[in-house]
């Protein structure tokens, strides 16, 4: 959980919150060492891991938010990796699955939590999968087994719909979507999996 | 320019750099207030603004890096905006152009600087454009006028190639690319337009 930004992380002095010269938005500026702390949207990377029989790998969340609801493997992109590398890493961390990450399936803007959701297609190299600290249960599912009423996030729901719509047509498109307003029902709200970002509305 | 992260930005205490419980990478952790400072890849949003005669709007950079070289409008995505909104904002800031941002053209991973480059298509609502603090010159160009040897970044070069390849075929695809190794020639290297991120190689 990130608290309000009050100090310079380079020298420890108290920061000022104002628009730097030549900039257009207020930033956290250090009056002592001139360090500026920038906060930008985060990228969530994920994939839909498919086994050779067409079933896909779903994970039941073992952590808040959305504890107990279902998702495919996804999480924050880390420094130094591509979106595909991040999706493969998250698959291993969340489901023990060894996934060959493929082409982009969907890029979804979620501006109300300052996230960009990047979902790839994926092929499981082996049928192995299993629970992890982040997933209480992992399961290979046919389309009719997907628990549509127990999906953790709208981004996951839309990505699954894109995936199955393409499959029904026998195509592999790249989909884009802007989720421009916060859903009313609390359980449909997209929320950050980590700390809120300064300047973001936090409920 | 960001210096090394040494202090908690919430309480000002000196931070420790270690792997938090349940995490997989070292983070900057505050031993006093438990605040963790995360650093993740940044998204660069841009667009290729097209006027109704088919020419596109290019900008000559008035700032480092790549001062004097050419790009289309692009910059860091800000909190609370979509990639399209960010691309429209950058177009106005860098070229005074009022652009209706359209569909995604390219998503390019640039892991060696921890960036994800998101480029949209765009239509100029009016023919107006002009210099700004960030652009010493703006110019509408036909394909044959593009200064291919004076393009600021590889991501810009690839995006322009995608754009013109699609136009030659009469299609509008979404392209993806991983720039997985740093180009050898210094002028071809992708570099951050802002501060380097902790844990990133900086030259
Ligand atoms: Zn400072
Ligand atoms: Zn602290």
**Cα distance between residue A162 and residue A91, in whole Å:** 20
> In the predicted model, is pLDDT for residue A1 greater than 90?
no
What are the structure tokens assigned to B71, written together? Answer: 């790009």
Give pLDDT tens digits for A26-55: 999 999 999 999 999 999 999 999 999 999
Render the burial of A96-131: b for 16+ CB within 10 Å, e for the rest: bbbbebbebbbbbbbbbbbbbbbbbbbebeeeebee
Q: What is the pLDDT of residue A94?
A: 98
Record: contact B40-A197, CB cut-off 8 A: no
Measure Cα distances from B162 to A102, B70, B108, B171, B178 in Å: 20, 17, 11, 11, 14
The alpha-carbon gap from A188 to the nearest alpha carbon of chain B, in Å, equals 19
**Cα distance between residue A118 and residue A62, in whole Å:** 22
Domain ranges, ordered by start, for chain A: 1-39, 42-181
Closest ligand (CA of A28): 1
Q: Of B133, B139, B137, B121, nearest to B57 (Cα)?
A: B139
Q: Of A57, A114, A54, nearest to A88 (Cα)?
A: A57
**Domains B1-39 and B42-181 are alike in CATH topology:** no
Ion ligand 1 neighbours, Cβ < 5 Å: A 8, 10-11, 13, 30, 32-33, 35
Sequential DSSP letters for A112-166: GGTEEEEEEEEEESSS----BTTEEEEEEE-GGG--GGGBS-HHHHHHHHHHHHH
Q: Of A177, A191, A181, A170, nearest to A106 (Cα)?
A: A177
Is residue A174 within 8 A of residue A85, CB to CB? The reply is no
Record: contact B116-A112, CB cut-off 8 A: no
Q: Of A68, A61, A57, nearest to A96 (Cα)?
A: A57
Q: What is the pLDDT of residue B1?
A: 37
Confidence band (pLDDT; 50, 70, 90) for A194?
Answer: very low
Is residue B16 within 8 A of residue B31, CB to CB? The reply is yes
pLDDT in tens, chain B (203 residues): 345 899 999 999 999 999 999 898 999 999 999 999 999 999 999 999 999 999 999 999 999 999 999 999 999 999 999 999 999 999 999 999 999 999 999 999 999 999 999 999 999 999 999 999 999 999 999 999 999 999 999 999 999 999 999 999 999 999 999 997 666 554 555 544 444 444 433 32
Which residues in B lie closer than 8 A to residue A116 (C-beta atoms)? Answer: 43, 77, 83, 116, 118
Q: What is the average pLDDT value for chain A, to the nearest integer?
A: 91
Chain B: residue whose CA lies nearest to A133? B22
Q: Of A28, A29, A12, A4, nearest to B13 (Cα)?
A: A12
Nearest by CB to residue B133, choosing from A11, A22, A118, is A22
Is residue A30 within 8 A of residue A8, CB to CB? The reply is yes
The alpha-carbon gap from B145 to the nearest alpha carbon of chain A, in Å, equals 30
If you measure from the C-alpha of residue B95 to the centroid of ligand 2, how many angstroms do you get, rounded to a whole number? 41
Q: What is the pLDDT of residue B22?
A: 87
Residue with tokens 């702390």: A37
**Cα distance between residue A137 and residue B59, in whole Å:** 52
Is residue B108 within 8 A of residue B78, CB to CB? The reply is no
**Cα distance between residue A75 and residue B25, in whole Å:** 13
Q: What is the pLDDT of residue A22?
A: 87
**Cα distance between residue B29 and residue B32, in whole Å:** 9
Closest ligand (CA of B11): 2
Q: Which residues contact B136 (CB under 8 A, 6 or more apart)?
A: B60, B61, B62, B68
Residue with tokens 């002592």: A32
ipTM of the prediction: 0.90
Q: Of B58, B86, B88, nearest to B72 (Cα)?
A: B58
Query: How long is chain B?
Result: 203
The CATH class for the domain spanning B42-181 reads alpha beta
Query: How long is chain A?
Result: 203
Third-level CATH fold of A1-39? Ubiquitin Ligase Nedd4; Chain: W; (2.20.70)
Per the DSSP assignment, residues forming a β-bridge with A139 are A58
Residue with tokens 């956290």: A28
Is residue A56 within 8 A of residue A141, CB to CB? The reply is yes
User: Which element (helix H / strand E) includes A203?
Assistant: none
Measure Cα distances from A115 to A7, A40, A118, B81 in Å: 25, 9, 10, 9
Q: What is the DSSP letter of A74?
A: E
């Amino acid at each position: 959980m990130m608290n309000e930004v009050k100090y310079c992380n380079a020298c420890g002095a108290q920061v000022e919150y104002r628009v730097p010269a030549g900039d257009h938005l207020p930033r956290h500026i250090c009056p002592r060492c001139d360090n500026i702390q920038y906060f930008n949207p985060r990228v969530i990377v994920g994939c839909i891991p498919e086994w050779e029989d067409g079933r896909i790998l779903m994970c039941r969340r073992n952590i808040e938010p959305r504890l107990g609801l279902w998702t495919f493997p996804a999480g924050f992109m880390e420094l130094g990796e591509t979106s595909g590398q991040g999706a493969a890493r998250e698959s291993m961390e969340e489901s023990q699955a060894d996934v060959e990450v493929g082409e982009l399936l969907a890029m979804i803007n979620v501006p109300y939590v300052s996230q960009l959701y990047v979902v790839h297609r994926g092929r499981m190299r082996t049928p192995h999968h299993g629970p992890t600290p982040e997933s209480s249960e992992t399961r290979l599912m046919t389309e009719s087994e997907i628990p549509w009423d127990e999906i953790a996030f709208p981004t996951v729901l839309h990505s699954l719909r894109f995936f199955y719509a393409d499959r029904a047509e026998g195509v592999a498109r790249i989909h884009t979507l802007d989720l421009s307003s916060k859903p009313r029902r609390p359980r449909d709200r997209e929320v950050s999996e980590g700390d809120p970002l300064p300047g973001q509305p936090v409920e």
